[in-house]
């Protein structure tokens, strides 16, 4: 099987592909895709009657050499949570777990501890209570990066999908991530097949400070990766600023130099890690 050529650190991963955990035939294609990370879903994607079998299939796949993925597990308040955690614990291919319907820091910490204390937990915030508890969730032991369950949040609150209506919960997750010392959060998925709409919504995510996005189909991955990566103009600006800064002996001239230097270095590091820098920063 052909694996993606360039593994991406989950802390900066852009595309997170959700894969139905009850369809093991789809695991290989997902793993071979250009998704930065894949998430095998044994929560919302799986009917109650099939959860046990889906858990078995996911565990078996993660037990094979070379197979690696995150797993979206059932939330802490369900009777499925303990079985999910216990069966996944210690599997060589388990990168981490996405904890559905996270509403308290204790949900994260209990999951982290039960997994053995070394497996990262990605809290999926999907409700009004979760949004209100976002800071405590972000600060919880084991929390790795926040994610937004936008569909369930709309159902819980009656909020429309309008950009303005959804700006508050997204921004709250961005602020909570900063307060908790976590990487930027992962936005919810775009439903539908329109690439222009996906491009527009991914750009909105970036504008609000989110740095990743859940994907529902392999076809969405290239668009998400492109939009969330530093743009060519960003890279050009950063390289030019850094060269000018070096050429004047790294002398700070005015109060805007240090903020611009920080932004330029961030673009340089991110573009280099994602493999989109080309030779723009050679010699810097």
Q: Show me where the domains of the chain are located.
A: 15-228, 232-274
Round to whole Å and give the CA distance between 97 and 119.
Answer: 7
Instruction: Kindly tell me if the per-residue pLDDT of 217 is higher than 80.
Output: yes
| Confidence check: pLDDT of 175 > 50 | yes
Best mean pLDDT range from 5-14, 169-178, 247-256: 169-178
pLDDT bucket at 193, cuts 50 / 70 / 90 = confident
Give the C-alpha separation, 211 to 145, whole Å: 10
Report whether pLDDT(65) > 90: no
| Mean pLDDT across 30-51 | 96
Cα Rg of the chain (Å, integer) = 20
**Structure tokens given for 135:** 């800071």
**Sole residue written with tokens 């990605």:** 122
CATH 3.20.20.60 for domain 15-228: yes
**Rounded CA separation 158/88 (Å):** 34
By percentage, how much of the chain surpasses pLDDT 70?
A: 98
**What pLDDT score does 133 carry?**
98
- Is residue 69 very low, low, confident or very high in pLDDT (cuts 50, 70, 90)? very high
Is residue 117 within 8 A of residue 89, CB to CB? The reply is: no
pLDDT of residue 7: 83
pLDDT value for 2: 40
Residues 107 and 99: beta-carbon distance below 8 Å: yes
User: Rounded to a whole number, what is the largest CA-CA distance in the chain?
Assistant: 67
Give me the chain's average pLDDT, please.
95
Per the CB < 8 A criterion, the answer to whether 112 and 118 are in contact is: no
Question: pLDDT tens for residues 88-132?
Answer: 999 999 999 999 999 999 999 999 999 999 999 999 999 999 999
**Residue 5 confidence (pLDDT):** 46
The answer to whether 10 and 37 have CB atoms below 8 angstroms apart is yes
* Residue 114: DSSP 8-state: H
Contact 210, 179 (CB under 8 A): no
Strand partners, 195: none
182 within 8 A of 223, measured Cβ to Cβ: no
Residue 61 in this model has a pLDDT that exceeds 70: yes
By the 8 A CB rule, do 169 and 153 touch?
A: yes
**78 phi-psi bin (left φ>0, alpha ψ -120 to 50, beta other):** beta
| Residue 208: other Cβ atoms inside 10 A | 17
What's the confidence (pLDDT) of residue 171?
98
Report the distance separating Cα 84 and Cα 21, nearest Å: 12
Q: What is the pLDDT of residue 219?
A: 96
Of 220, 269, 280, 282, the closest CA to residue 36 belongs to 220
Can you spell out the DSSP letters for 142-180? TB---EE-HHHHHHHH---S-HHHHHHHHHHHHHHHHHT
């Amino acid at each position: 099987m052909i694996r993606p050529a360039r593994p991406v650190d989950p802390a900066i991963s852009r595309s997170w592909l959700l894969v139905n955990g009850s369809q093991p035939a789809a695991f290989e294609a997902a793993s071979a895709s250009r998704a930065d990370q894949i998430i095998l879903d044994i929560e919302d994607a799986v009917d109650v009657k099939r959860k046990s079998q889906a858990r078995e299939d996911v565990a078996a796949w993660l037990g094979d050499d070379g197979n690696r993925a995150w797993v979206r597990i059932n939330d802490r308040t369900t009777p499925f949570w303990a079985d999910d955690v216990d069966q996944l614990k210690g599997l060589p291919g388990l990168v981490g777990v996405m904890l559905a319907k996270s509403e308290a820091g204790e949900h994260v910490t209990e999951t982290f501890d039960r997994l053995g204390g070394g497996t990262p937990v990605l809290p999926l915030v999907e409700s009004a209570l979760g949004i209100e508890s976002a800071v405590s969730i972000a600060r919880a032991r084991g929390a790795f990066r926040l994610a937004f369950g936008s569909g369930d949040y709309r159902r819980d609150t009656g909020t429309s999908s309008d950009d303005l209506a959804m700006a508050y919960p997204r921004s709250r997750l961005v602020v909570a991530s900063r307060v908790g010392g976590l990487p930027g959060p992962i936005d919810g998925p775009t439903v539908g097949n329109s690439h222009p709409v996906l491009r527009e919504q991914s750009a909105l995510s970036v504008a609000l400070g989110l740095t990743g996005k859940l994907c529902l189909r392999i076809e969405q991955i290239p668009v998400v990766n492109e939009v969330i990566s530093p743009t060519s103009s960003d890279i050009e600006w950063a390289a030019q600023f850094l060269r000018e800064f070096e050429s004047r002996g790294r002398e700070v001239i005015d109060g805007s130099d240090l903020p611009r230097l920080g932004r330029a270095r961030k673009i340089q590091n991110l573009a280099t890690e994602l493999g989109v820098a080309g030779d723009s920063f050679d010699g810097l």
